[in-house]
Amino acid sequence: MQIDFEKSADGLVPAIIQDAATGKVLMLGYMNREALDKTLAENKVTFYSRSKKRLWTKGEESGNFLLLQDLKVDCDSDTILIKANPVGPVCHTGADTCWNEVNTSNDFLARLESIITDRKNNPSDKSYTSQLFTKGINKVAQKVGEEAVEVVIEAKDDNDELFLNESADLLFHYLVLLQAKGFTLADVIKVLKERHK
């Protein structure tokens, strides 16, 4: 990875930060070589702050870090694209992004997975999903089995509404099972892609 820090007089290159899960652009910062090295070493996105005149790790005061997932350099070697997982809001105003957008994916399944992850990480007694996680992997797997049987039963009948509702139940519980096992739908899609190269 060759980045041309010499293209600008101040030795800084723009770093576009994108949410690794949702694809939303979160913010723009600037990096010098030291900020890049620190980002790669610590897996927390660090910028060079033009106002503070020093390295600045996003979240160093708020705790709202940007956890590095991927880093690419553009075709001119003078702009960085960083895919990160944000820990909390990104903007200093408290907004999800510096453009005051809600950081959700346009992909409904990705949003649903995000909600399931939140229910796993921040359990609530009022949440059915949290209760499933609390009951353990065996209960979650059992629910997937039950829903699969119901899909098969409804597939043999002519009630499309019941078939689709049972299919939705199966997909939801499968997503919960994936989370319980530490995986996401993207992991399954990767396997399918590898099978169909």
pLDDT at 106: 77
What CATH class does 108-196 carry? mainly alpha
pTM above 0.85, yes or no: no
For 55-94, write each residue's pLDDT tens digit: 999 999 999 999 999 999 999 999 999 999 999 999 999 9
Percent of the chain beyond pLDDT 90?
A: 90
What CATH class does 13-86 carry? alpha beta
pLDDT at 130: 96
Bridge partners of residue 25, in order along the sequence:
18
Q: Domains of the chain: which residue ranges?
A: 13-86, 108-196
For 106-160, write each residue's pLDDT tens digit: 788 988 998 999 999 999 999 999 999 999 999 999 999 999 999 999 999 999 9
Say if residue 97's pLDDT is above 90: yes
Looking up tokens 């994936």, which residue turns up? 178
Instruction: Give the number of other Cβ atoms within 10 Å of residue 191's Cβ.
Output: 9
